[in-house]
Structure 1
Amino acid sequence: MTATADAGQVNSGRARARRAGAGRAKAGRVDTGRVDAGRVDADGFRRALAVHAAGVVIVTAQSGGIPVGLTATSFSSVSLEPPLVSFYVDRSSTTWPSLRAAGHFAVNVLACDQADLAARFARKDVDRFAEPTRWRPGPLGAPLLQDVSAHLVCLPYETADVGDHILVVGLVAEARVHGPGRPLLYHQGRFGRFIAHP
């Protein structure tokens, strides 16, 4: 009798957990009856995103003996254990195939006076590593840009297709801070500086 009651309680508990899990799964999904997903005004969406200030990094690598790099404003920390960081790259990027083929990459965190460098690595049809860009090979060969606030050398960890971008996650193998300089920010289509409250 006791065993039957215990089994019943266990089965009842499992059923409740399944119902609760199903409820949570439904709550996490977009109710397309209430929100017309994908029909947001494109200009309004861009304007809303533009008011969010973002830090600026340049992701660099060496692929086939050739240095490659791009500017990213989507850099983020992901995990402390293991140490993971991420950034997004447009699927149409001509630099991404070379970055993807590299055995590792470096994230160069830009200082507030490096707007010209950020703009250079965002341009097409230019030798991004030619003068006035100053850099040196890192411990694993990825280019490390001079005068940046910090750099992180990363091993490829995971990638995922997300909309029209690719999420790139890196496992940090080395992290160095070069100075307490203020960061370069990107806001409403322009680069700027961070000013701390007194």
Structure 2
Amino acid sequence: MFDSDRFRQVMGHVPTGVAVVTAMTRQGPVGLTVGSFVSASLDPPLVGFLPARTSTTWPLIVPLGTFCVNVLGEDDESLCRGFARSGGRKFDGVDWTLSEATGSPVISGALAWFDCAFEHSYPAGDHLFVLGRVLDLGVRAQGRPLIFCHGRYQQLATGSTAGSAVSFGG
């Protein structure tokens, strides 16, 4: 048998991209960091992520029925940390625009974004697995994604080329 610390330690060897899920409430923009963003289906186009059940932001987004997933770039660690904290004014100093499809915030410096309608959520232990139907999407910036692996934020190594193995720097 193993405990949750051992599970976390071994899972720490699996790199994950980092994204910020945003939405527009009547009180203003809200957002949270997720490290679990995945493509779930091409037809229909579905994406998924796993917010913690303890999240105070996700319950504000659910009743809206829409959200935008903003994929962060390698220079966005401070942005990631800002949206990962609980409470506060997460959008202070963040440039963003409203998406055309849902009116959700699209972070200006994000590498890519996926504007979504809430499709479904499923209990997944101490998290929820959320599916969103992609209504619109785009690439905002060129660059490499922010990666979380081995318990820290990392960058893809420079000099890697298409078709070759990817190494992690940091």
TM value normalised by structure 1: 0.76
- Alpha-carbon deviation of 1:144? 0.8
Indicate the residue corresponding to 1:86 in structure 2: 48
Task: Please give the alpha-carbon distance, in whole angstroms, between the structure 2 residues aligned to 1:167 and 1:42.
Answer: 19
Indicate the residue corresponding to 2:95 in structure 1: 134
Task: Please give the alpha-carbon distance, in whole angstroms, between the structure 2 residues aligned to 1:155 and 1:42.
Answer: 33
Cα distance per residue 1:172-194 (max 9 Å; x no partner):
00010123311110112211111
Unmatched segments (≥5 aa) in structure 1: 1-38
AA paired with 2:114?
L
- Alpha-carbon deviation of 1:94? 0.5
- Alpha-carbon deviation of 1:65? 4.1
* Conserved 8 A contact 1:60-1:142: yes
Task: Please give the alpha-carbon distance, in whole angstroms, between the structure 1 residues aligned to 2:19 and 2:36.
Answer: 8
Higher helix share: 1
Higher strand share: 2
SS at match of 1:141: coil
Is 1:186 the equivalent of 2:118? no
AA paired with 1:197?
S
Indicate the residue corresponding to 2:110 in structure 1: 148
Task: Please give the alpha-carbon distance, in whole angstroms, between the structure 2 residues aligned to 1:64 and 1:125.
Answer: 16
* Conserved 8 A contact 2:111-2:145: yes
Task: Please give the alpha-carbon distance, in whole angstroms, between the structure 2 residues aligned to 1:155 and 1:173.
Answer: 7
Task: Please give the alpha-carbon distance, in whole angstroms, between the structure 1 residues aligned to 2:143 and 2:160.
Answer: 16
Unmatched segments (≥5 aa) in structure 2: 162-170
Indicate the residue corresponding to 2:121 in structure 1: 159
Indicate the residue corresponding to 1:13 in structure 2: none
Indicate the residue corresponding to 2:167 in structure 1: none
Indicate the residue corresponding to 1:100 in structure 2: 62
SS at match of 2:11: helix
Task: Please give the alpha-carbon distance, in whole angstroms, between the structure 2 residues aligned to 1:179 and 1:68.
Answer: 22
SS at match of 2:39: strand
Is 1:67 the equivalent of 2:57? no
Q: Percent identity?
A: 38
- Alpha-carbon deviation of 1:154? 0.3
* Conserved 8 A contact 1:63-1:101: no
Q: Number of matched residues?
A: 159
SS at match of 2:118: strand
Runs (4+) of structure 1 exceeding 4 A deviation are none
SS at match of 2:73: coil
